[in-house]
Amino acid sequence: MTYVLLYHDIASPADRDAVGFPGVAAARYKLEPAVFEAHLDAIAETGVEVDLVTADGTFPAAALSFDDAGASALAAADRVEAHGWRAHFFVPTARIGERGFLGPEALRELAARGHVLGSHSHSHPAYMGRLPRNTVLDEWRKSRDILGDVLGAAPDTASVPGGSLSRTVVDCVRAAGYSLLMTSEPSSRVTRSSGLACLGRYGIWATTTPARAASYVRGAPLPRAGLWLAWNTKKLAKRIDPGLYERARAAQKSR
């Protein structure tokens, strides 16, 4: 089993709209720098092995991943490297070079420093699991081609945008040539589908404490069960009525 933590951008409250995707919804996943540092210290104190997951079958006890490739990714990588670790960074390729996101040179720097770069789709659709197969396949192929041009080699890994997973999404990831898919499902089990390895991740929120992050990498049952319940409740709401889910979330934000 491998416990993968899912981070996004690292930014102060005043700077959250300047890195990665802007808005209140995205801000819920952005940690303040001091809090992120405390997360890494707490993870290190567990003594759990932190390393990279590889498409050829290396599954360490724990791993770190970052979605969106926002402008804070290089600073996040600095702090990860200070602990002697490397991480996975997933790139929505339509955003490369846009305000708030990494450009080609920065992506190449991350790769040169030993981090793994993978696809986070091309356009980062909100509900990929509901899209037609040809659209989903185009998202993954286009992203892989663009990253291949930027990095000099096509990536083997991908992560699902918005956590919107379906059989079509998995099939299209495999058809596009990837070997490893990371999802947002809070699970440590590795499943395989015709040569594609799928691995869940434990999502980190702006409110997630260092102790909670450390409990995830230790595999503590109660925190993992709580996250699993929250995730599946949200997933069910999205599946039943995405519009209602978004309206309810907007109402909650306005309180």
Note whether residue 227 is domain-resident.
no
Instruction: Report the greatest alpha carbon distance in the chain.
Output: 48
Note whether residue 230 is domain-resident.
no
pLDDT digits (tens, 9 = 90+) for 229-240: 888 887 766 665
Note whether residue 246 is domain-resident.
no
pLDDT digits (tens, 9 = 90+) for 107-163: 999 999 999 999 999 999 989 999 999 999 999 999 999 999 999 999 999 999 988
Note whether residue 128 is domain-resident.
yes
Answer left, alpha or beta for residue 13, where phi above 0 means left and psi between -120 and 50 means alpha: alpha
3-state secondary structure at position 57: coil
Q: Which two tokens stand for residue 235?
A: 């997933």
Q: Which two tokens stand for residue 20?
A: 């990665």
112 vs 132: CA distance, rounded Å: 36
pTM: 0.92
What b/e sequence results for 70-85 when a residue is b if at least 16 CB atoms lie within 10 Å of its CB, and e otherwise? bbbbbebbebbeeeeb
Note whether residue 231 is domain-resident.
no
Residue 48: pLDDT above 50?
Answer: yes
Domain that holds residue 165: 3-220
Q: What is the CATH number of the domain that holds 10?
A: 3.20.20.370
Q: Which amino acid is at 161?
A: P
Q: Which two tokens stand for residue 130?
A: 């509901």
Give me the number of domains the chain comprises: 1
Q: Which two tokens stand for residue 132?
A: 């037609």
Note whether residue 173 is domain-resident.
yes
Answer left, alpha or beta for residue 75, where phi above 0 means left and psi between -120 and 50 means alpha: alpha
Note whether residue 18 is domain-resident.
yes
Note whether residue 243 is domain-resident.
no
pLDDT at residue number 97: 98
